[in-house]
Structure 1
């Protein structure tokens, strides 16, 4: 039997799978961790403990599964939350916690400064993206501005996946898809690092660029001792978790889109040409000649966790979903702005605030939770409205992630967006996509094989909901009419 190891580091949990050449899962393991919020607007992980520690814990668990033999593992691929900013010293040791993706908004001042010094139009022309909280470049500049002593010790700036691959192989690499999020340091036209726009750091402090299924190196003896993996196994360059998740459900052809219901909502649409709009994100896709158009909310699963922990301590999500299902669509006129960590696309407003609006004494906890789910669904629909305005309505939506188990949330998304969604037989997540990418990397699978590895199992049809027809425009107006208040709070 030939096995492929896929392992993904998420915002709150890491997952790993061993998959055979038919796509069957032979072993799986998980390990939880926390997102650190040292102060409002910051979001961090501990690279050694949360990223590498989870990898070691999971591989050791996988290899103790009955009938699993480590020598049968033919290739490894990793993914992780991103894009992140992790400075490391000359030995590869982290100098700070890993600064997370767009939910971390600490570099607002640096974004404003770069836009003023370079010009927003010039940045967009070179990078294919506007500078937002998703961009790593401003966060590196923030490090230089606020911690010059740490910046001076920085030999390399990695992202989460890069750190894992370095720990496994000793190679400093990054895939093009992730690197495009390092604006203004990545030129999408040349598909390479650039210092033509700004001098933030020497370019030799950035990892070597590769495509996601290229082999970055092989498991070292030191990594083998820590993980239980045999030395010498090829390791791919890897990618961001959302991209691997898209691969896991067969998003491969132009016009296909993934909607990931995770800690955040994240969408990826594969295109045959660059689809560039300042409200969205653009990157080369995982393979040469293909492109990706992305969008993401700042909170979704994180907001449901906040709701449970704050308003329903002790309740599990099944109970909350059942309560939401008893509330009528539209939650009795209750609106929720899900901007509890600011908002990413399409608003790009780190000062946006969350809100419940329309409360009265008849509303129940179930109404509140339905409003949360519908608020997230409305935010997803607002993203899809952008694609419609660009004449790029997706041909197919593939839903994936832990949130697909919530029928209210899933149905509300289709209803607000007026688009059906397909769900595949396996909703394992990014780690399954990683395993497939590992198989691709060594020629053990072809891109089309994912359709047999993970076929479509069911569809969620869109329904016309009069309450949503009335409330969706009001939901959008609620943000615009309170934006000034939010900025001053």
Structure 2
């Protein structure tokens, strides 16, 4: 019987899961680490923290499963994307990793887009250069930390640092490499032309393998630290969004995903290369070999509801019951919230409007409205944003035969029905409860030969549990969506003045 280990290196902790031969989750464990916030807009993590939390998570997961780590037959890795792990010639971290949510390199992104032009940048990589991505962090280092920059010999991503600690192998995968801003996603290789333009050596970047490929094995030192058998195969793995897609069965065209987590993500697999000319959607390599995906990312998804709770109903606390009470409050208001609309730009926005100055707003308040309407408009406003992302996907020629929901928001019947109504498509939930780490396990199962390919593994281990069709309120919400789509263009010109907020500097 094969026991497989999935490791997910997250922002505030590392999760490990043990999965048995039938695809059932036998045990889970989480090791914690807290990012550092040295300044506003910065976010860092010493890479060794990830190793410590990984060792802890493996032990906890195996204990929870009631097995010895010695019975693990294969390992899949996934984790937060974009983080910069800059290493010297001895593979020692030069500085704390700058994480995906570190925005300090925005000026470097603007300079590159201005110098090279957006059209050329998208032609080279399929994507814009965004502050969260890896390469512009290196440009920031060159400008602000030149001595540290000169010591760089290798650049890794967070999960790949954990792989190095497990095996001593320097490797990455095509899906995670896609988020560096210097990877030619169409050709699934590093863009040597762009690296030359930016004067970043190709030698720094590890070879990028397809996600289910075995690229390393556990070494003796890691075996002593974790109890895992030396020689255990480790597959290339995937970035967190690509792994989550595998873990929820998003591996074929026509099945699209919407994740209602702190952020909101629309994920669309494609059997052929597709992109948006202005880079509005991320166009990345998928974890399924020779496939791609389009991805739209809203910065405030279900996190908007958490903001609503803290701002308007702090007495509820922050548990599951609080979420249920807010949902019940929202359901007591009519669909469309009596004309009230919510713009979910609480942290700026990335998709469909890349605008750091965008700000959230309630639009259309009148004397009829109370907390019920405010709550309903938050549910609907986030879904309006996801529907905008889905429309961008449709514009590339992909169709939504069904939209699979994941994330904490999928527990809400109201949110699920609102998604079906605004997406103009059936929505479904699946048996998956640990999508990201489970996707890493599926990649490992494929890599060690348990399945012939990733889609076959997904068919065996992932099944729909519920499907919801658009309901009688779909026409009303579609009418409101047309109004919603006019709000950002109307407010775009004034957002910079609002975001400036001189009062905050007093």
Offset at residue 167 of structure 1 (A): 1.7
Contact residue 332 and residue 367 of structure 1 kept, 8 A = yes
1:478 aligns with 2:487: yes
> 2:318 and 2:135 mapped to 1: Cα distance?
40
2:395 to 389, 414, 426: 389
Offset at residue 442 of structure 1 (A): 0.5
What is residue 449 of structure 1 aligned with on the other side? 457
Offset at residue 46 of structure 1 (A): 4.3
* Deviations 1:266-291 (CA, angstroms, capped at 9, x unpaired): 22222121111022111222243222
1:340 to 336, 346, 349: 346
> 2:45 and 2:419 mapped to 1: Cα distance?
30
> 1:365 and 1:258 mapped to 2: Cα distance?
30
1:413 to 398, 412, 419: 419
From the superposition, tell whether residues 133 and 334 of structure 1 become closer, same or farther in structure 2 (CA, over 3 Å). farther
> 1:473 and 1:105 mapped to 2: Cα distance?
32
> 2:93 and 2:198 mapped to 1: Cα distance?
23
Contact residue 217 and residue 233 of structure 2 kept, 8 A = yes
What is residue 125 of structure 2 aligned with on the other side? 127
Q: Secondary structure at the match of 1:63?
A: helix
Q: Secondary structure at the match of 2:428?
A: strand
What is residue 261 of structure 2 aligned with on the other side? 262
The two structures, once aligned, show a CA RMSD in angstroms of 2.3
From the superposition, tell whether residues 460 and 106 of structure 1 become closer, same or farther in structure 2 (CA, over 3 Å). farther
Offset at residue 25 of structure 1 (A): 1.2
What is residue 318 of structure 1 aligned with on the other side? 324
TM-score by length of 2: 0.89
From the superposition, tell whether residues 312 and 474 of structure 1 become closer, same or farther in structure 2 (CA, over 3 Å). same
Q: Secondary structure at the match of 1:64?
A: helix
TM-score by length of 1: 0.92
* Deviations 1:314-356 (CA, angstroms, capped at 9, x unpaired): 2432333333333332233332221222211221222222223
1:192 aligns with 2:189: yes
Q: Which moved more, 1:457-466 or 1:339-348?
A: 457-466
Structure 1 gap segments, 5+ residues each: none
From the superposition, tell whether residues 72 and 312 of structure 1 become closer, same or farther in structure 2 (CA, over 3 Å). same
> 1:22 and 1:280 mapped to 2: Cα distance?
36
Contact residue 424 and residue 474 of structure 2 kept, 8 A = no
1:266-277 alignment, distance < 5 Å: 266-277=265-276
> 1:108 and 1:164 mapped to 2: Cα distance?
28
Offset at residue 36 of structure 1 (A): 4.9
> 1:365 and 1:88 mapped to 2: Cα distance?
51
Structure 2 gap segments, 5+ residues each: 501-506
* Matched pairs, number: 486
> 1:53 and 1:471 mapped to 2: Cα distance?
49
> 2:42 and 2:425 mapped to 1: Cα distance?
34
1:87-486 alignment, distance < 5 Å: 87-101=86-100, 103-183=101-181, 185-197=182-194, 198-277=197-276, 278-313=279-314, 314-316=317-319, 317-360=323-366, 363-446=369-452, 447=454, 448-463=456-471, 464-486=473-495
What is residue 503 of structure 2 aligned with on the other side? none
From the superposition, tell whether residues 445 and 357 of structure 1 become closer, same or farther in structure 2 (CA, over 3 Å). same
Q: Which moved more, 1:327-336 or 1:378-387?
A: 327-336
Offset at residue 22 of structure 1 (A): 1.0
* Deviations 1:95-141 (CA, angstroms, capped at 9, x unpaired): 3333333x443322112211122222211111112223353222221
Offset at residue 379 of structure 1 (A): 0.8
> 1:35 and 1:358 mapped to 2: Cα distance?
39
From the superposition, tell whether residues 368 and 104 of structure 1 become closer, same or farther in structure 2 (CA, over 3 Å). farther
Q: Secondary structure at the match of 1:8?
A: strand
From the superposition, tell whether residues 439 and 116 of structure 1 become closer, same or farther in structure 2 (CA, over 3 Å). same
* Deviations 1:350-401 (CA, angstroms, capped at 9, x unpaired): 2222223334565444433332222211111001111222232223322122
Q: Which moved more, 1:317-326 or 1:292-301?
A: 317-326
Contact residue 186 and residue 285 of structure 2 kept, 8 A = no
* Deviations 1:188-208 (CA, angstroms, capped at 9, x unpaired): 344322342313421111122
> 2:281 and 2:126 mapped to 1: Cα distance?
10
Q: Secondary structure at the match of 1:65?
A: helix
Contact residue 8 and residue 430 of structure 1 kept, 8 A = yes
* Deviations 1:121-163 (CA, angstroms, capped at 9, x unpaired): 2111111122233532222212222222221232222212212
Contact residue 251 and residue 258 of structure 1 kept, 8 A = yes
Q: Which moved more, 1:106-115 or 1:358-367?
A: 358-367
